[in-house]
Structure 1
Amino acid sequence: MQFSAMETLMVALLVLGAGQWIVHKVDLLARLNMPEPVVGGLLATIVVTLMQVSGISLTFDESIKTPAMLFFFGAVGLAADFRLLRRGGWAMLLFAVLVIVLVALQDLVGVMMAKLMGLDAWYGLIGGSVTMTGGHGTGAAWAGVFERDFGLTGVSELAAASATFGLIFGALLGGPLAMFLIRRYRLAAPAHGAAVEDVEHDEAETPRPISAASVIRILMLLSVGVVVGAVAAEEFASVFRLPTFVWVLFVCIVLGNTARRLWQVNDATIDVVGNTALGIFLAITLMSLQLLQLVDLALPMLAMLLVQVGLALAFITLVTFRLMGRNYDSAVLCAGHCGFAMGATPTAVANIQAVTQHHGPSPLAFIIVPVVGGFIVDIANATIIQTFVSVLSG
C-alpha cells in the first residue's frame, strides 16, 4: 500500500495525536520525560511491522520529512539570541570536546569488539560511530564505501539496522537519563537557565498571544532561511560540506536577531511552529522504520551495539554530566548527548524538549545541542572515521 504525501502527513498527525494521548494517560511515560512524537512513532512502527509480517506492505511518501526537519532547525535559529550564543561559548567548546571523545571511543570499542568476536574490523566501525553517531545517512554513505573499496557484502542492510537500533535507544533513554540525574541530585531549572542569569533581559517584554499575523511572519522568515540555507549548502559543497540543516540554522540565527531589531518577534509562535515541524519529522521517520531489518542482525553485531549503548550511557553519566557542571543544564545536555550519540540531532532536540517541558527551561541546551550535534559532530565523526579507515587499511 503506497501512501501519498498528503496521506502520509495525515497519518503522521494521527500518530502525533496518539502519542500525546498516550503520554497524557500513562503517568509513567510522562514521568520518564518520553517525547510524545517518539511514543506515537514507535507505536506506529510496531503496527506497521505487524502488518508487514501479515503480508501487508506499507510505503510512506517521505518528501515532507526533510522540509519539516529544516523548518524545525530554522525555528531553533530564529529563537536563538546572540546574547545567549555569546554566553554559551566555553560551555559549547567543552561539550564539543566531550562529544568528540565519545565518538572516538565508539569506534575504538567497536573495532576491539569486532576483533574479539572474530569479525572484520570494518564491522566494528559500522557498529561504532558510523551508525551510532552518524545515523542512517552516514551509515548508508560509509556502507557504500566499504562495499565498493573493501568487498564487503550486506553492509547496507546491516548499517540501516544498526542505525535503527541506535535511533530507538537514543530516543528511549535520553529523557529517563535526565530524569534520573535531576532527581538523584535534586536539580531545578534556574530562572533563565544556567550561565545566562547575568544576561540582560527586557523586562518590558510580555508573552503575546499567537495570531495569524505572527504565524505568517514566522513562516515567512523560516521559508527565507530554508531556501537560503539550502542554496548555501549546495554552493559551498565543493569548499566544505556541511549538512543543509546546519546552514539553515545559521541563516535563521542571523535572520532572527535582525528581525528582533526591526519588529517584535513572538517567541511563542516560533516555539509552536518549530515543535509542530519537529513532531511531523519524527513521526514520519519512526513510522517509516523497518524493524524487520533488526532480525537480520547477527548475534555478535547485536552484542556490539548493546555494548555501545552501555558505553554511551556510562560516558554521558560519569563524564559529560560531571564536567558540564553537575547542574540542571548539564542534565538536560545529557539528554541531548544521549540522543545524537545513539541516533540523530533531531532526536537529541526532542529529548531536551521533553525534559524542559516537564522540569523547566534550559536556553543554553537549546543553543549548544543543535549547533554541536549538527555542525561539530558531523565534521568530527567524518574525520575520526576516515582516520580509523586509514589506519586499518594501512
Structure 2
Amino acid sequence: MTNLTVPGLLTFTISIVVFFLGAGINNMIPQLKRWNIPQAVTGGLLASVATLLAYRLFDVSISFELGARDMLLLYFFTGLGLNARLSDLLAGGRTLAILLGVTLVYLVIQNIIAIGSVRLLNLPEGLAVFLGSASLMGGHGTTIAWAPVVAERFNLNNALEVGMAVATLGLVLASLVGGPVAGRLIARYKLSGPVEDAPVIGLPDQSGQQGDDLNHVSLLRTILVLNAAILIGLGVWELVDELGIRMPSFVVCLLVAIVLTNTVPRLLPRLQWPTRTRSLSLLSDLSLNIFLSMSLMSMQLWTLGGLGPALVLVLVFQTLATVIYIVFVVFPAMGRTYNAAVISAGFTGVALGATPTAIANMTAVTKTHGAAPIAFIILPLVSAFFLDLANVVAISFMIR
C-alpha cells in the first residue's frame, strides 16, 4: 500500500479544478441544474470516486492536507453574519423559534429510528448512537468527540470508523436530496423569491451589471472587514472557551459579525460597510464552494466497504424519514412560502449532513429562484448552535 499525502497549496488548487469539473458536468446534464445540485458536490463526488479507483486499482491511498478548509469556513460564516440586518433578525424571530422546535422534535425521531433499526436488524447496541443524531446531525466533529466514549461504554472497537462512515454517507445524501426536494416544493406551490434582491451568497446565474460595486477596491475592503471580524470572533471564542462554554469557533464568528454589522454602520455612518454587496456575496460563495469541494473530494470512500447492507439500509430509512418530515412537517410549519422551500433544502443538511451542506443546498436554490436572506441567518443559528447543545443531551442519554 502506498500512502500519498497531497500538500495544502496543491489541495487548494485541485479543489478549484474539482469545482470547475462539477460546473461543467452540471451544464452538460440539465437535470443536475434543475435539481439544484451544487457544482462543488458534483465535482467533489467524482473526485472522491477517482481516489477510490486509485485505491482499488493501484493500491494507492490518497489523503489531502485540509488546513485551508477551516479558514474558508470562518470566512463563509462571518460573511453570513455581516449580511444579517437587525430588521431581518426581528422578522425571523418567530420563524427561528418554529424551526428550532421542529428540529428538536426530529432529533428525537431520528434517534428513535436509529434505536429501532439496531434492534430490528440485530446490530450491536452501541451503533444506535452513530446511526442517529451523533453522526447525522452532529457530523464528523461530534462523531470524533464521542467515539472514544461510545467505544469504551459498549466495547466497540470500530466505533470511530462506523461513525465517520455514517457521517460521510449522510453528507453525500444531504447534498443529493436537498435541492430536488426544494425544487419539487417550489414547482408544486408555484413559489419564487423576490426578483429585485440578489442572493445573499453568490451572484445570480444570470446576473446583470446593475449597480455593480465589484472591483479590486470593494473586494479588498470586504476582505479587510472579514478579517477584522474573524480576529475579534476568535478572541471572543477563546474567552468563551475558557469559561467552559463549548461551541464551534465559526458560530462565535457568526454572532460577532451580526453584532458588528448592526452597530458599526450606525456609529460610523460614513464608513463603507459590505453588508449585501456583490463583493461580500462573491467572497462568501467562493469560500463555501471551495470548502465543499475540499470536504467531498477528501472522502476516503474505501473506508465504507465494511459497513455491510444493514447499515446502508438504516441510512435509507433515515433519508426517507427526513424527506417525509420535510414535506409534511417542516415546509407546512414554515408557512409553505418560498422561504419555507429554501429552508426545506437546508433542512436535509441539518438532518443528514452538516451546516455547510445545508447552506450549499440553499445557495443552489436561491441562485435559480431568488433571495431568501432570513433562511441564511436562522438555519445556521439553529443547526450550529442550539442543535449542538441539544445533541449533547441526546447522546448522553443514549449512552447511559
Task: Name the TM-score, length of structure 2 as normaliser.
Answer: 0.91
2:132 counterpart (110, 128, 131) = 128
Deviation of 1:259 (Å):
4.1
- Contact 1:107–1:385 (Cα < 8 Å) also in 2: no
| 1:53 matched to 2:53 | no
Map of 1:323 onto structure 2: 333
Alpha-carbon separation, structure 1, partners of 2:172 and 2:246: 28
Aligned equivalent of 2:262: 257
Could you report, residue by residue, the CA deviation over 1:313-360 in whole angstroms, capped at 9, with x for unpaired residues?
111111000111111110110000011210000000000000000111
CA shift in 2, pair 1:235/1:288, >3 Å:
same
2:398 is matched with 388
More off after superposition, 162-171 vs 47-56: 47-56
Deviation at 1:21, TM superposition (A): 1.6
1:181, distance to aligned residue in structure 2 (A)? 0.5
Which structure 2 residues correspond to residues 67-106 of structure 1 after superposition, within 5 A? 67-106=71-110
Whether contact under 8 Å (1:242, 1:375) holds in the other structure is yes
Among 41, 44, 61, which residue is 1:41 paired with?
Answer: 44
The answer to whether the 8 Å contact 1:111/1:122 transfers is: no
What CA deviation, in whole Å up to 9, does each residue of 1:342-387 have, x standing for no partner? 0000000000000000111111111111111211111111122212
| CA–CA distance in structure 2, aligned partners of residues 302 and 114 of structure 1 | 12
Matches within 5 A, 1:116-195: 116-190=120-194
How many Å separate the matches in 2 of 1:387 and 1:2? 39
**RMSD of aligned residue pairs (Cα, Å):** 1.5
Q: Which residue of 2 aligns with 1:286?
A: 296
Contact kept in structure 2, 1:221 and 1:252, CA below 8 Å: no
- Please tell me whether the aligned partners of residues 210 and 269 of structure 1 are also in contact (alpha carbons under 8 angstroms): yes
Number of matched pairs: 378
Structure 1 counterpart of 2:217: 213
Q: Find out whether 1:244 has 2:249 as its counterpart.
A: yes
Q: Helix, strand or coil: the match of 2:62?
A: coil
| Aligned residues of 1:207 and 1:268 also touching (Cα < 8 A) | no
SS in structure 1 at match of 2:386: helix
Q: Return the letter of the residue paired with 1:65.
A: R
* Match among 333, 336, 344 for residue 334 of structure 1: 344
CA distance in 2, matches of 1:130, 1:192: 40
Alignment partner, residue 26 of structure 2: 23
Q: Secondary structure at the match of 2:211?
A: coil
1:192–1:363 contact (8 Å) kept in structure 2:
no
Amino acid at match of 2:347: H
**Deviation digits for residues 168-196 of structure 1 (CA, Å, limit 9, x no counterpart):** 00011000000011111111224578xxx
Q: Deviations over 1:224-278 (max 9, x none)?
A: 2222222322321243211111001011112223343332334111100111011
The 1-side partners of 2:165 and 2:325 are apart by 24
- Select 2:282's aligned residue among 249, 265, 272: 272
Whole-angstrom distance in 1 between the partners of 2:30 and 2:101 = 36
Q: Check the 8 A contact 1:221/1:255 in 2, yes or no.
A: no
Tell me how far apart the structure 2 counterparts of residues 143 and 316 of structure 1 sit (CA, whole Å): 29
- Distance in 1 separating the partners of 2:152 and 2:224: 44
**Structure 1: stretches of 5+ with no match in the other structure:** 194-205
Aligned residue in 2 for 1:13: 16
Q: Residue type of the partner of 2:337?
A: N
Q: C-alpha deviations, 1:4-56, integer Å up to 9, x for none? A: 11111110111111112221222111101111111111111111111111212
Say whether the 8 Å CA contact 2:125–2:154 is kept in structure 1: no
Instruction: Give 2:320's aligned residue.
Output: 310
4+ long deviations beyond 4 Å? none
Bigger mean CA deviation after superposition, 275-284 or 254-263: 254-263
Contact 1:88 1:368 in 2 (8 A): yes
Whole-Å separation in 2 of the counterparts to 1:113 and 1:251: 41
Report the Cα offset of residue 304 of structure 1. Answer: 1.3
Number of the residue aligned with 2:205: none
TM-score by length of structure 1 reads 0.92
Report if the CA contact (8 A) 1:38-1:282 is conserved: yes
The 1:61–1:277 alpha-carbon spacing in structure 2 relative to 1, beyond 3 Å, is same
Instruction: Tell me which moved more, 277-286 or 19-28.
Output: 19-28
Change over 3 Å in CA distance of 1:260–1:98 after alignment to 2: same
Q: SS at 1:131's partner residue?
A: coil
Which residue identity does 1:240 align to in structure 2? Answer: I
Structure 2 unpaired stretches of 5+: 198-209
Q: Does 1:231 align with 2:239?
A: no
